[in-house]
Amino acid sequence: MRDVYHHQLDEILVELEYMTHAVSTAVRRSTSALLTAHLGTAEEVIAGDAQLDAAGEAVEEKIFDLMALQAPVASELRMLVAALRMVADLERMGDLAAHIAKITRLRHPAPAIPTELHGVIQDMGRVAQRMVDQAGDVIKSRDVTAAHRIESADDEMDRLRSSQFRLMMDDSWQHGVEVAVDLALLGRYYERIADHAVSMARRVIFLVTGHLPTAQ
């Protein structure tokens, strides 16, 4: 019976890893839709968010069942508590990817982002997707050192966000208020995806060490 129980614990981590792949794909495709004004791709990302939420609910149900039926202790309980928090992070990241796609839908058929501003969006999307991928890797490996590196990667997102604000506040800005609002929202969405990836990394550290790192 305990072997079955531990297999169920391992399955939860596998499902969390699967969810990170789904989120990574959503971030990549929502960014692509935004830069190409491709409505079909944007709609697929928006529709896919419901599937991600359903996957998260299924994982949560398994976690609650194990808590109720197996009376987990010590590292087992840490793992289940950490998994619950990571499910919430992943669901929120999926929501944020859908928000990015919704800006494409809102502005279609016109592109939401002028061509000369594509660079900052490409960079923010790239960093956000990479951090989600890294979060999936540390769930699988439980590598505390790699988990700490995700927090360091968040510094790059912060630099991109600062660069974005400088663009918008510069006297040479010629794209109007509507584009500025869209760009500010997009920057916030990508920044929050990165924040959730950092949160997941901290949960892995908690799972392995029993200590939750403090936010920096």
Residue 103, class by beta-carbon neighbours within 10 Å (0-12 exposed, 13-18 middle, 19+ buried)? buried
Mean pLDDT, the chain, whole residue set: 93
Residue 215: its pLDDT value, please? 62
| Residue 145 pLDDT class (50, 70, 90 cuts) | very high
Q: What is this structure's pTM? A: 0.94
How far apart are the two ends of the chain, measured CA to CA in Å? 42
Q: What is the pLDDT of residues 67-92, one digit of tens each?
A: 988 888 888 899 999 999 999 999 99
- pLDDT score for 5: 78
2-209, superfamily in CATH? Phosphate transport system protein phou homolog 2; domain 2 (1.20.58.220)
Average pLDDT over residues 114-135: 95
Nearest alpha-carbon partner for 125 in 91, 104, 97 = 97
CA atoms of 157 and 194, how far apart (whole Å): 7
Burial of 82 (0-12, 13-18, 19+ CB in 10 A): buried
The first and second tokens of residue 65, run together, are 């069942």
Going by pLDDT thresholds of 50, 70 and 90, the confidence category of residue 211 is confident
Matching residue, tokens 């997941």 = 200
